[in-house]
Amino acid sequence: MSLFKKPTKKKQRHLRERIFDDDEITAEEEAEIACKLEGIKELQESRVCKNGLNAVECALGKELAAEFIAMDDDPFRQRGGGMLRLSEGRQAQMHAADIEAGIRDQFKKESFLRDEHEEMKKYVQAELRKRKAVQDLEDGDATTSKVPSMEDSLMWKAAEKVRLFRSERNDELLSNQMLAGIPEVDLGINARMSNIIETEKKKGEMLKEVVEKGEILLKIVCLVKIGQKIWRKITYSILFFIWNQPHVLAKKIGAKSWNGLILRLK
């Protein structure tokens, strides 16, 4: 017995096709077909899984959620991935902040540039020294070297001492004169010291005036307090005299006025 069966060809049966005429369909059959279609549609609708409440309806309720969604079709940006969308004003602020940061970076870069005026002066001085050195060499061949006098040597020594006291300038950064547009003159150490001394003198004078004014006010307050104490003592002594020796005062001012005074005191 063979394991594999040979495939057999099915015989094609020649069947007659039924031809339906449209005229043969009756009204009852049409109504039956329409009822079946409606039943199928209802069955399909019942099988559809309905969604529950969304986040907005859970938070606000169906009525308020409908109004909230009517104001904004996609309030929580769920269609775009739930990411935050910036308003036009916020975007403009961020753009302005980026521009300001770029300006600051550019200013920092320019602040590390050197002062062009100072660099040009250095270049000119270096070129002049080179030319002067060449000219001195040419003149030295023709004439003998001149011996420096005592005055020249003293001047050179003074110049070296002055260089030691000169204020050092930082040429690496851009000078404040170019940034502010105001030329600044170096007055030297003597002028600075004199300004400091004058300011300290003025401070001392002002403090002295304040102390003197405070002492005067203190004296006035003390005098006022002393006067008040003296006046109180006088009034207390008068009242004590009136209270202890009324007959003496009654003789001087009379009986009627004395009775009126007693009534007032009571």
Mean pLDDT, residues 91-111: 77
180 and 110 inside one domain: yes
What's the Rg (C-alpha) of the chain?
58
Q: What is the pLDDT of residues 135-167, one digit of tens each?
A: 776 666 555 555 667 777 777 877 777 776 655
Distance CA 66, CA 53 (A): 12
- 13: in domain: no
197 and 259 housed in the same domain: yes
pLDDT at 173 (0 to 100) = 47
Residues 180 and 101 reside in one and the same domain: yes
CA atoms lying within 13 Å on the CB side of residue 239: 7
* Tokens representing residue 46 in the block: 């019942």
Task: State how many domains the chain has.
Answer: 3
What number is the average pLDDT over the span 58-76? 71
pLDDT band at 38 (very low <50, low <70, confident <90, very high): very high
pLDDT tens string 154-205: 778 777 777 766 555 554 445 555 555 555 666 778 888 888 889 898 988 8
What separation in angstroms does the CA of 1 have from each of 5, 7, 49, 135?
10, 16, 57, 127
Task: Answer yes or no: pTM beyond 0.75.
Answer: no
- Tell me: do 178 and 125 sit in the same domain: yes
Using a pLDDT cut of 70, give the percent of the chain over it: 56
| pLDDT value at residue 172 | 46
Over residues 205-228, the pLDDT tens digits come to 888 888 888 888 888 888 888 888
Q: Which two tokens stand for residue 58?
A: 């859970």
- Mean pLDDT across 48-59: 77
User: Pick from 48, 64, 85: which residue ends a domain?
Assistant: 85
Is residue 108 situated within a structural domain? yes
Q: 208-222 burial by CB neighbour count: b if 16+ within 10 A, else e?
A: eeeeeeeeeeeeeee
Instruction: Looking at the structure, tell me whether residues 197 and 241 fall in a common domain.
Output: yes
Does position 50 have pLDDT exceeding 60, yes or no?
yes
Residue 21: the pLDDT is 52
pLDDT at 260 > cutoff 70: no
Confidence tier at 36 by pLDDT (50, 70, 90) = very high
Higher-pLDDT residue of 108, 258: 108
Verify that 110 and 179 share a domain, yes or no.
yes
Mean pLDDT of 45-60: 78
Report how far residue 31's alpha carbon sits from residue 27's, in angstroms, rounded to the nearest whole number.
6
**Residue 250 located in a structural domain:** yes
Of the chain, the percentage scoring pLDDT greater than 90 comes to 3
End-to-end CA gap in the chain: 156
Q: How high does pLDDT run on average in the chain?
A: 72
- Tell me if 16 is assigned to some domain: no
Same domain, 112 and 37: no
Per-residue confidence band for 17, with pLDDT thresholds at 50, 70 and 90: low
Q: Which residues, 6 or more positions from 112, have their beta carbon under 8 angstroms from its beta carbon?
A: 172, 173, 174
Q: Is residue 235 part of a domain?
A: yes
Residues 137 and 64 in one domain: no
Domain finish residue from 186, 205, 239: 186
Q: Tell me the mean pLDDT in the region 241-257.
A: 59
Residues 177 and 105 in one domain: yes
Residue 241: domain span: 190-265
Mean pLDDT of 46-55: 78
Residue 250: pLDDT band by 50, 70, 90 thresholds? Answer: low
Helices (H), the chain: 27-47, 55-60, 62-71, 88-111, 116-142, 150-165, 176-180, 189-244, 246-253, 255-265
